[in-house]
Structure 1
Amino acid sequence: MKYRLALVSAALALSAGTAHAETVYVTADRLLEVETGKFVEKPLVTIVEGKIASVESGASAPTDGKVIDLAGHTLLPGLIDMHVHLDGRPEYGGYSSLQFTDRFATVLAVVNAEKMLKAGFTTVRNVGDGDYNVSGVDQAIEEGWIVGPRIVNGNYSLGATGGHCDQTYLPPSFGAKSPGVADSPDEFRLRVREQRKYGAEVIKVCATGGVFSRNTEPGQPQLRLEELQAIADEAHFWDLKVAAHAHGAEGIKLAIRAGFDTIEHASLVDDEGIRLAKERGTFFSMDIYNTDYTQRTGEANGVLEDNLRKDREIAQVQRDNFRKAHNSGVRMVFGSDAGVMPHEEVGGQFAVMVEYGMTPLEAIRAATVNASEALGQKGEVGTLRPGAWADIIAVSGNPLENVGEFTDVDAVIKGGVLVE
Structure 2
Amino acid sequence: MRKLFAACSIAIAALATAPASAETVVVTADRLVDVLAGRTVERPVVVITDGRIVSVVGEGAARPVIPEGATRIDLPGKTLLPGLIDMHVHLDSNPRYGGYTRLRFTDHFWTAQGVANARAMLEAGFTTIRNVGSRDFSDVGIKEAIEEGIIEGPRIVPAGHSLGATGGHCDNNLLPPSYQATRGGVADGPQALRSRAREQRKYGAEVIKACATGGVFSRNTGVGQQQLTLEELSAIVAEARQLGMTTAAHAHGTEGIKAAIEAGFTTIEHASFLDDEAIRMAIRRGTFLSMDIYNTEYTLAEGERNNVLPENLEKERQVGTRQRESFRRSVELGARHVFGSDAGVYPHGTGGRQFARMVQFGMTPMQAIQAATANAAEALARTADLGAIAPGRFGDMIAVDGDPLRDISLLESVPVVIKGGRLVVDRR
**Would the TM-score normalized by the shorter structure come out above 0.5?**
yes
TM-score, reference length from structure 1: 0.94
- Measured in 1, the distance between the counterparts of 2:359 and 2:39 equals 19
Aligned match of 2:6: none
**Residue in 2 aligned with 1:172?**
177
**RMSD of aligned Cα (Å):** 1.1
| Structure 1 residues 53 and 36, CA gap change in structure 2 (3 angstroms) | same
Aligned pairs for 1:55-70 within 5 A: 55-58=56-59, 59=63, 64-70=69-75
Counterparts of residues 219-230 of structure 1 (less than 5 Å): 219-230=224-235
Q: Which one of 247, 272, 278 corresponds to residue 252 of structure 2?
A: 247
CA distance in structure 2 between the partners assigned to 1:41 and 1:357 by the alignment: 27
Consecutive aligned runs of 4 or more in structure 1 exceeding 2 Å deviation:
57-65
State the partner residue of 1:388. Answer: 393
Whole-Å separation in 2 of the counterparts to 1:320 and 1:349 = 15
Q: Report deviation, 1:38.
A: 2.0
The question of 1:131 aligning with 2:136 is answered yes
- Kept in 1, the 8 Å contact 2:92–2:134? The answer is yes
Give the total of aligned pairs.
401
1:104-115 paired onto structure 2 within 5 Å:
104-115=109-120
The structure 1 residue matched to 2:153, chosen from 148, 151, 176, is 148
**d(CA) in 2 for partners of 1:259 and 1:120?**
31
Q: For residue 220 of structure 1, what is the amino acid of its counterpart?
A: Q
Is this contact kept in 1: 2:24–2:67, CA < 8 A?
Answer: no
Which sections of structure 1, spanning at least 5 residues, go unmatched?
A: 1-19
1:379, 1:385 within 8 Å by CA — same for their partners in 2? no
Closer/same/farther in 2, CA of residues 98 and 34 from structure 1, 3 Å limit: same
Alignment of 1:19-418 (within 5 A): 21-58=22-59, 59=63, 64-418=69-423
Indicate the residue corresponding to 1:7 in structure 2.
none
Q: 2: CA distance between counterparts of 1:271 and 1:38?
A: 30
* TM score, norm. by length of structure 2: 0.92
Q: Tell me the distance in 2 between the aligned counterparts of 1:157 and 1:32.
A: 35
Q: How far 1:65 sits from its partner (Å)?
A: 2.3
CA distance in 2 between counterparts of 1:177 and 1:122 reads 33
Query: Could you say what secondary structure the match of 1:52 adopts?
Result: strand
Offset, 1:62? 6.2
State the distance in 2 between where 1:271 and 1:27 align: 44
Equivalent residue, structure 1, for 2:17:
none
3-state secondary structure, aligned to 1:419: strand
After superposition, the C-alpha distances for 1:95-141 in whole angstroms (9 at most, x for unaligned) are: 11110111100011000000000100000000001111111100000
Task: For 1:30 and 1:270, locate their aligned partners in 2 and report how far apart those are by CA, in whole Å.
Answer: 39
Q: Quote the Cα distance in structure 2 between the aligned partners of 1:141 and 1:380.
A: 17
1:386 positional shift: 0.3
Are 2:23 and 2:70, in contact at CA under 8 Å, matched by a contact in 1?
A: no
1:95 aligned counterpart, secondary structure: helix
Q: Percent identity?
A: 59
What are structure 2's unaligned runs of at least 5 residues? 1-20
Q: Is the 8 A contact 1:114 1:149 kept in 2?
A: yes
Cα distance in structure 2, aligned partners of 1:40 and 1:328: 29
The CA deviation at 1:57 is 2.2
Q: Distance in 1 between matches of 2:141 and 2:186?
A: 22
Between the aligned partners of 1:320 and 1:21, the Cα distance in structure 2 is 51
